[in-house]
Amino acid sequence: MFTISVPASSANIGPGFDSAGVAVSRYLTLEVKEADKWQFTHTTATIPPVHDYHDHYIYKVAKQVADWQEETLTPCHVTMDSEIPLARGLGSSASAIVAGIELANQLCKLNLTEEKKLDYAVKIEGHPDNVAAALLGGFVVTVKMGEEASYKKLPAIQTDLVVYIPNFELKTEDARKVLPDKFLMKDAATASGVSNLMISALLTGDYELAGKMMESDLFHESYRAKLIPNYFDIRSEARKLGAYGTVISGAGPTMISFVPGGEGKSIATQMNNLLDNYEVTALKLDENGLQVKNNAPITEQD
C-alpha cells in the first residue's frame, strides 16, 4: 500500500534546550500492507517483537489519533525497520510518534495539515523539539507555551554531522533529574543570549561562531556531562580535527558534532580510532522529514 519514513532527530543543540532540533539521516521505516488483521513485523534485531498489536507503540499512537478524529483504523500488516537506537538521545520515540500519526492519517484518509500533525505529536510527546525536526526535517526552532507549540524551520545548514553513540542507554527522565529547578535571571539572560547568537550565526552561515555558542550552553550541558563518559575528550578531540561544535544529542548519552561539509566521514574515522565502546558515524542533516511513498500495486506481469 504505502511506505512511511521518518528521520531520527537530535534535540537541544546545546543552548537551544527544549527548543531546537535537527533531523538526522537515520530512519524509521514502515512498510504498510492491507491485511485481514493487525500484525507488526520487526526486521531490526535490536527492537524486540510485540506479540499483541494493542501494545505496539505505533499502533497506540495511530489509534489515539483515529479516536481524536472519531475514525476507525483498518487492519494492516506493518513491517518496521529502524536504524534509530533506543534511549540514546536520537529521538526514537519522536520518530515512532510521527510514524504513528501518519499511519492514522493514511489509513483514515484524514488529510491532516503539518500544524495538526505537530499539534498531535506534541500532545503525545510532551515537548516539540524532537517531533518537529522528525516531521519537518532540517533544523527547526520551536517553543511550547501552554498547550500551543510554534515553530520555524531554518534554511538548510551546510554542515556534516558526526554522532558518538555509546553502548548504554540513558532515560530522559534520569537526565532531567540532574538539572536544577531554578535559574537566576542574570544566568537565564546570558543563556538565552547564547542561544540567540547560535541561531543568528547559523542563519548567516558563520558556523565557527555557531559552534562556539553550541559549546557555551548554560542550561543543561554542564549538569549532564557527568552522565557521559569521555564527554570532555570527545569535545576537545573533535575540535582538534576541525569540528565547529560538539554537544549532547537530546538528553544524551549520544553526542553530536557539527563539522565542515564533506569532512564528516574522515573526522568520524579518526574519532572512531580514539573511542572504545562507542559507535562513531558520519551522518547528514535530513532536510525532508516525514516522507510517504505510495507503493505501486503488484500486477500479474510482476
DSSP string, 183-235: --HHHHHHHHHHHHHHHHHHHTT-HHHHHHHHTT--SSHHHHGGGSTTHHHHH
Query: Is 137 near ligand HSE (CB under 6 A)?
Result: no
Nearer to ligand HSE, 166 or 264 (CB): 166
> Binding residue for ligand HSE (CB under 6 A) from 18, 83, 119, 206?
18
> Binding residue for ligand HSE (CB under 6 A) from 152, 176, 240, 265?
176
Grid coordinates of 127: 515537548
- How many residues touch ligand HSE (CB under 6 A)? 10
The CB-of-111 to ligand HSE minimum distance in angstroms stands at: 29
What is the C-alpha to C-alpha distance for residues 178 and 157, in angstroms, rounded to an integer? 31
- For residues 138 and 156, the answer to whether their CB atoms sit within 8 Å is yes
Query: Is 171 near ligand HSE (CB under 6 A)?
Result: no
Stretch that binds ligand HSE, among 77-85, 95-103, 109-117, 123-131 (CB under 6 A): 123-131
Nearer to ligand HSE, 21 or 100 (CB): 21
Stretch that binds ligand HSE, among 11-19, 69-77, 79-87, 190-198 (CB under 6 A): 11-19
The CB-of-219 to ligand HSE minimum distance in angstroms stands at: 9
Amino acid identity for residue 197 in this structure? L
Query: Is 172 near ligand HSE (CB under 6 A)?
Result: yes
Nearer to ligand HSE, 100 or 250 (CB): 250
DSSP string, 76-112: EEEEEEE-S-TTSSS-HHHHHHHHHHHHHHHHTT---
CA distances to 117, 203, 223, 289 from 114, rounded to whole Å, are 5, 23, 35, 11
Grid coordinates of 110: 484524514
Stretch that binds ligand HSE, among 52-60, 126-134, 193-201, 290-298 (CB under 6 A): 126-134
- 106-128 burial by CB neighbour count: b if 16+ within 10 A, else e? bbbebebeeebbbbbbbebbebb
> Binding residue for ligand HSE (CB under 6 A) from 56, 100, 122, 129?
129
- DSSP, res 120: H
The CB-of-101 to ligand HSE minimum distance in angstroms stands at: 18
Query: Is 92 near ligand HSE (CB under 6 A)?
Result: no
Query: Is 11 near ligand HSE (CB under 6 A)?
Result: yes
Residue 293: Cβ within 10 Å count: 11
Residues 231-270 contacting ligand HSE, CB under 6 A: 250-251
Point out which residues bind ligand HSE (CB under 6 A). 11-12, 18, 127, 129-130, 172, 176, 250-251
